[in-house]
Amino acid sequence: MKKKILIIEDEKELISGLKLNLDFEGYDVIWALDGEEGLNKALKEAPDLILLDIMLPKRDGLEVCRELRGQNVTIPIIMLTAKGEEVDKVVGLEIGADDYITKPFSVKELLARVKAHLRREKREEKDTPSVYRFDDVEIDFIHFKVKRKEKEFDLTSLEVEILKYFVAHRGEVVTREAMLNEIWGYERYPSTRTIDNHILKLRKKLQDDPAKAKYIFSVYGEGYRFMGGL
């Protein structure tokens, strides 16, 4: 069955070019020209992945992303950003986007990102339990939830993959490069700071004070070590 990709973008020429290449790769492509229409299609059409521009009429991409995550839509979202929109990139990742690519971009790179995220979505994790508990924390990988004390937090699909990777390698030092390759699915990436943003979000959900590492520890010059359950 074809994977469905939703493009939310107001540049018709860009949509045409993306659709041509995605069609050639065997994807089912739908699109929307503004944020409001894109949000409605994302909720009704159940796409497997969304390419979401930040600058959109009616509702901008950040608002669309925030609304989708607020309604527990966990499918991968790749933000399309203009050169120099560094703040928007960071905000997008903080509110639940899985990835971003900066315009102008090569079609080859975009297709690699799309394939990587779709591959990650269907990857089997036979060694990862459906629920993982340590101290007062419970990670529910099936329902994309973290429960801590009396609080409950939603997880994005990418946060689930990061936590699965940490659990599988608990106690080990994992490099940012290895995480980008294993989780995102490709070795070259614009900035390893992307991982650091996701780690900060996870710390906020796993512990009371995210400023003091309790389960996910930074290893200077290398990456991270996850100690939950050890």
pLDDT over 90, % of the chain:
45
**Which tens digits make up the pLDDT trace of 178-210?**
887 777 765 555 466 778 888 888 999 999 888
The yes-or-no answer to whether 4-122 and 131-226 have a common fold is no
Delimit the domains of the chain by residue range.
4-122, 131-226
**Which tens digits make up the pLDDT trace of 125-161?**
445 678 899 999 999 988 888 999 888 998 887 888 8
pTM over 0.85: no
Give the class (CATH, top level) of 131-226: mainly alpha
**Which tens digits make up the pLDDT trace of 80-125?**
988 666 666 667 777 788 888 888 888 888 898 898 888 766 554 4
For the chain, the farthest-separated pair of C-alpha atoms sits apart, in whole angstroms, at 53
Residue 11 pLDDT class (50, 70, 90 cuts): very high
CATH no., domain 4-122:
3.40.50.2300
DSSP class per residue in the chain: -PPEEEEE-S-HHHHHHHHHHHHHTT-EEEEESSHHHHHHHHHHH--SEEEEESS-SSS-HHHHHHHHHHTT--S-EEEEEETT-HHHHHHHHHTT--EEEEES--HHHHHHHHHHHHHHHH---TTS-SEEEETTEEEETTTTEEEETTEEEE--HHHHHHHHHHHHTTTSEEEHHHHIIIIIS-S--S-THHHHHHHHHHHHHHSS-TTS-SSEEEETTTEEEE-TT-
**Which tens digits make up the pLDDT trace of 14-59?**
999 999 999 999 999 999 999 999 999 999 999 999 999 999 999 9
